[in-house]
Structure 1
Amino acid sequence: MPRSLSKIDKMSGDEIKDLKHRLHSFQGGECFLCGRPINLEADETEIDHIVPLADKGPDEEANWALLHSVCNDRKSAQNLNLARILMRFENTKEEYGGALTTAQVLEMHGGSTQQLHVDDRGDSVLVRYECRGSIKEIEAPIIVDPNNLNYRSFFIELPIEVLHHDFELNPRKIINADKLIKEFWRKNPQLHVALCRLQIDTEAKKGDVLLFDGQHKTAAQIFLGNRAVPVRVFLNPDKDRLKEANRRAHKELRQVEFFKSVLDDLGQDIFSQHFRRFLEDETGIPKSEKAFIESLEADTRVEMKRNLYHYLKTTVKNSEDPRNEFFDYVELDQPRSKTWPISYDSVEKTFLRHFIDSSPCEAPVDADYDEENDYPRNTERKNLVILMNIVTDYVLREKFDKSLGIAKLEDRIKKGEVIPDNHLRAYRMFRPAVFVVWCEFLKEAIAMYLIAKGKITNDMRNRNRVLWAQMDGRDWEAIAKMIDKLASHKLWIDRGPVISNAFGQTRPEFFRKLLEEGIIDGIGKILGEPINIQYLFNAAGSDNNCLSDYILAIGLDDFSTAIEKYLFYLHEISDLGPKLLCLFDHEINQLLA
């Protein structure tokens, strides 16, 4: 159905020009949508109805607005008042790097300036706060949880001045509040209240109201101009238990799922607090991760093991000595990104899964360690960060161009857009399905190298303890050669349609066959040199990966016995079995000669 003709459509060019000048003056020289200045001589501008004619908005100057043409094209609602709020939310988000914290939303709107005064009367609370220069008092009944009498709470509407972000229970950022802004704009009710906790200072009878759930609803209400929001406030709750309940609600119970990076942050906090208390206990129990887990009640051990893994992953992500530079290129706040080449989910399925032993470590934390024999978890973290930083050096730093992004990159190449090789390589190497495969191959190649050097055992390889090895400069040089050879393969920069289409695949099985054998089903062999374990292992060079190293490592004088044991070792280190024997045929023949 064609839109109704407006009085504006019937105006002459001079009348439009005069109208734009009047609206420009009335709006203070700013665009109605974005709020930025309009230059009538230089900017392309349009006039639109604030309330659309289709919504029975009047076709009068009081309902007309002047805006940048680009803003009118970008608007995500026909009603300009709503579109202005949505654009302000998006622009604010961009100013803060694409995501906002609840604290930032509150502070930019004048929130988080007061504590709440509370008089706990047993069956009710009398709360007091300052509002517009006067003191306001409200009494609310206390509700006791029917399953746990220790959980007491009350429902109330509170001004944003007394609300604070609970970073500890929920570090999650606000990304997509658009739908909630539209929902509340339509005058639909907020069905679920935000959740807060309040730890009352018994002497001062006041404390911070910490909002830990319902941040998106609260942000939507605030951007709509509401200065107070409905909340449920827990009084002096068991923080650790509430934290675990909130984590379970967003994970196991799937009310609103947390991103994996947020789950890791929450899990590591739970583990570290409990483990710290265990280490401070003066009993004679050995101070190790394994002893800690075994000290817990049986029905809590599985959950704490999960939290241990969250803790280990977070120590790698947040490492400062050395700093983990790989995460400068990882999207941490949402499942997918149009800007960064790597998702946190992909990192979790690759580096973190293959190189962290998630089982409790039996080594004592408080043993007498030194630089040559460090606590295994410190070695694991440090080595993994170094490995990830080497990948960053060869593939990402000064190579990935954030301004080009990753959105529809293969389509853009097909349409003729010039994408630099370095940027294309960084994009393709970290497509989730292929990333899973090459990282697994890299782990196996590194494990083979370290076993041959006598620095780890096959059992350590099988238990993801490859990076528990004490590594030296020669080892890292060999591993850097593997990564260099991996990144240098022409697959990553081939712009032909077959390869470009291949990177649209999402199944690791597809890329396993492509990398390991160079084959695409239905097309045939397309890679002259596959990217498999042998390809990576050989990159380290014969000086670093040789049979003689193995013979020295196992300390055998009898050469024929060494060969026999070495062949057994090749079978032992991988499920690929006989396929790996060909890796060393040339070297074995040279030694036998």
Structure 2
Amino acid sequence: MASLFLNRLSSEDRQVLEIKLHRIQGGNCFICEQAIDLQVHKGAVDIDHVVPLKLGGKDDEDNFALAHASCNRSKQASNLKVARVLQRFARLKEALEPENRSPNLGDILKQVGGGCHELGFNLADGGFTYSLSELGNNTLFNVPVYEDEMSGFRYFFARIPIEYLAHDNHINPRSIGPNISKLIEEFYQKRPQLHVPLGWIRSDDNKCAIHIFDGQHKAAAQIMLGARYLPVRVFIDPDPDTLITTNTNAGTTLKQVAFDKSVQRHLGSSLYHDRIARFQKETGRSEDDLGFSERDLVNHFKGQSREIKRYILDALRDGVISDPDNKLRDYIDFGGRGKERPLSYSTIEKTFYSFFVYQEVLETPINFHLEEGSNPRQLEREQILRLMNLAAEEVYVDKFDPEIGTDKIENRLQNGESFNHDHLRAFRMSKEEIVYNWLQYSGQIARQYFIMQDRPDPQGRLFQYPFPEQVWENMRKFLQNLASLPLWVNSDLSATVFGGKQNNSFWKTVFETGRTPQGMEVLVRPLNLIEMIK
């Protein structure tokens, strides 16, 4: 975002500000921390906001920093403090390249003076007593010791200075991955990650560093942002083989992955309703006052415009997919690529939602024409739901057999196995690249209605306008006629057009010409939408 403050400065005043910032920063670039020579680098330095305006930073001298233009324009984060932290990490990675490895937590600790002391302690009477003598603090700290009900290991929780922490490269040999930048952003935005680093000690040593074997990314992110103490769960005398097996399984057998998209949408929906409640409270409105727009929400929560927009769209998408009347959801695999259901949630996102959810915020009040049933978002949700139900009724309900599922259908056909035609049709019509095309034709049928009525094409807001019953009947007839095409049940096509993953344009060509891009005849004639809605 442009700076009004800087735009109002004369060239002489800007030069004075450059000199002032240069002196404050010790003559170094704020991001890479290498020298700036105002004469040599003349015309190649930037003055930028440390905290971006969109994140609530002020447009005044206290929020400016001087940086090499190349550093500022290639920075990995909009916040200059975060960019500086990431630049330090980039330099550490570069320094370790001759060793043919990337940084781990031990390298981060060493960089900031951590991992240099062993902790003196006494384990007695169900408690763990320790002191930080090497840091000049001789206070005796005592924390209770617990026993883990699952593993039988003893452990305690403590807030430990980084000087007493070490990285266990044996149990956790992983280097720090690229997602560290996102974690640094999270911690900098004061969003605490709840996972506490796990460490271990040996009780017979009486003086031992605390070896961190899990949670190194979140520990590293905090340390890189300047944290000198970390809360740690420390196991006492654990079996190392158990820890190694546990850590290995986390990345292999268990495949600990992020939330699937449907869960993310549900969380986004919750955050949307939370923002509505906060807006009402902060603007002195009652709980039932919805006389404000999505745009008002975005404007109110400055610095969160991207997040608010996502929450608004998440609320709509979650409302459609979680509606108890949604007949299609029984045929959607919400966890990824399963073998029982024909559609993935990703396909729903890339087709139904991508095509028919209006992607911009609305200027009309949230309660606009709500009671009359013509609220834009309400119509959008109801009509996308109805289209899903139409697809479910014509292609899946009482046709797709979940006991047969989707596993290696085409291979099994090539090996001589046969399937019920309804099931095979549903399976093949569920391929993402095929759904992509027939849904676009469905949208084209709806748009045709507005054109025939001499009304403007609604473009991205198509589903925010009510469709008459004739449009729904036309879309149903189209889908019925599409489903009746012989190619869906032709076993001979299992080794050709259905033998591998095709792309969207492949099927667009098939439907528009009757042939594959390679010239193989698949349909008797190209699709004719006018004929298919009769």
Query: CA shift at 1:279, angstroms?
Result: 3.9
Note the residue ranges of structure 2 that are not aligned, 5 or more in a row.
1-138, 163-183, 201-211, 220-232, 234-241, 251-255
Match of residue 56 from structure 2: none
Deviations, residues 39-98 of structure 1 (Å, cap 9, x unaligned)? xxxxxxxxxxxxxxxxxxxxxxxxxxxxxxxxxxxxxxxxxxxxxxxxxxxxxxxxxxxx
User: Amino acid of the residue matched to residue 415 of structure 1?
Assistant: N
Match of residue 407 from structure 1: 407
Alignment equivalent of 1:305, drawn from 306, 309, 315: 309
Match of residue 135 from structure 2: none
Give the alignment of 1:118-517 within 5 angstroms: 126=143, 138=156, 140-141=158-159, 155=197, 191-192=214-215, 257-283=258-284, 287-297=292-302, 299-320=303-324, 323-334=325-336, 336-371=337-372, 373-453=373-453, 457-458=456-457, 460=458, 462-463=459-460, 465-497=461-493, 500-517=496-513
| 1:516–1:280 Cα change, 3 Å | farther
Deviations, residues 159-185 of structure 1 (Å, cap 9, x unaligned)? xxxxxxxxxxxxxxxxxxxxxxxxxxx
The answer as to whether partners of 2:514 and 2:526 remain within 8 angstroms in 1 is yes
User: Amino acid of the residue matched to residue 141 of structure 1?
Assistant: R
Write the distance in 1 (CA, Å) between the matches of 2:363 and 2:506.
39
The answer as to whether partners of 2:410 and 2:498 remain within 8 angstroms in 1 is no
Query: CA shift at 1:436, angstroms?
Result: 1.2
| 1:422–1:195 Cα change, 3 Å | farther
Query: CA shift at 1:365, angstroms?
Result: 1.6
User: Amino acid of the residue matched to residue 468 of structure 1?
Assistant: Q
Write the distance in 1 (CA, Å) between the matches of 2:388 and 2:348.
10
- SS of alignment partner, residue 440 of structure 1: helix
| 1:328–1:152 Cα change, 3 Å | closer
Write the distance in 2 (CA, Å) between the matches of 1:272 and 1:309.
12
The answer as to whether partners of 2:411 and 2:494 remain within 8 angstroms in 1 is no
| 1:450–1:425 Cα change, 3 Å | farther
Write the distance in 2 (CA, Å) between the matches of 1:312 and 1:157.
43
Tell me the TM-score normalised to structure 2 length. Answer: 0.53
| 1:520–1:457 Cα change, 3 Å | same
Give the alignment of 1:538-577 within 5 angstroms: 538-541=531-534
Query: CA shift at 1:523, angstroms?
Result: 3.0
| 1:150–1:476 Cα change, 3 Å | closer
Give the alignment of 1:39-58 within 5 angstroms: none
Write the distance in 2 (CA, Å) between the matches of 1:433 and 1:128.
57
| 1:409–1:301 Cα change, 3 Å | same
The answer as to whether partners of 2:198 and 2:214 remain within 8 angstroms in 1 is no
Query: CA shift at 1:327, angstroms?
Result: 1.3
Write the distance in 2 (CA, Å) between the matches of 1:512 and 1:148.
45
Deviations, residues 136-177 of structure 1 (Å, cap 9, x unaligned)? 99451267999578969865689xxxxxxxxxxxxxxxxxxx
Write the distance in 2 (CA, Å) between the matches of 1:148 and 1:392.
43
Write the distance in 1 (CA, Å) between the matches of 2:505 and 2:190.
52
User: Amino acid of the residue matched to residue 463 of structure 2?
Assistant: L
Write the distance in 1 (CA, Å) between the matches of 2:419 and 2:389.
24
Tell me the TM-score normalised to structure 1 length. Answer: 0.48
The answer as to whether partners of 2:297 and 2:308 remain within 8 angstroms in 1 is no
- SS of alignment partner, residue 526 of structure 1: coil
Write the distance in 1 (CA, Å) between the matches of 2:327 and 2:216.
39
| 1:397–1:498 Cα change, 3 Å | closer
User: Amino acid of the residue matched to residue 442 of structure 2?
Assistant: L
The answer as to whether partners of 2:414 and 2:494 remain within 8 angstroms in 1 is no
Give the alignment of 1:68-79 within 5 angstroms: none
The answer as to whether partners of 1:434 and 1:508 remain within 8 angstroms in 2 is yes
- SS of alignment partner, residue 509 of structure 1: helix
Write the distance in 1 (CA, Å) between the matches of 2:369 and 2:342.
42
- SS of alignment partner, residue 520 of structure 1: coil
Write the distance in 2 (CA, Å) between the matches of 1:415 and 1:363.
58
Write the distance in 1 (CA, Å) between the matches of 2:259 and 2:364.
32
The answer as to whether partners of 1:432 and 1:506 remain within 8 angstroms in 2 is no
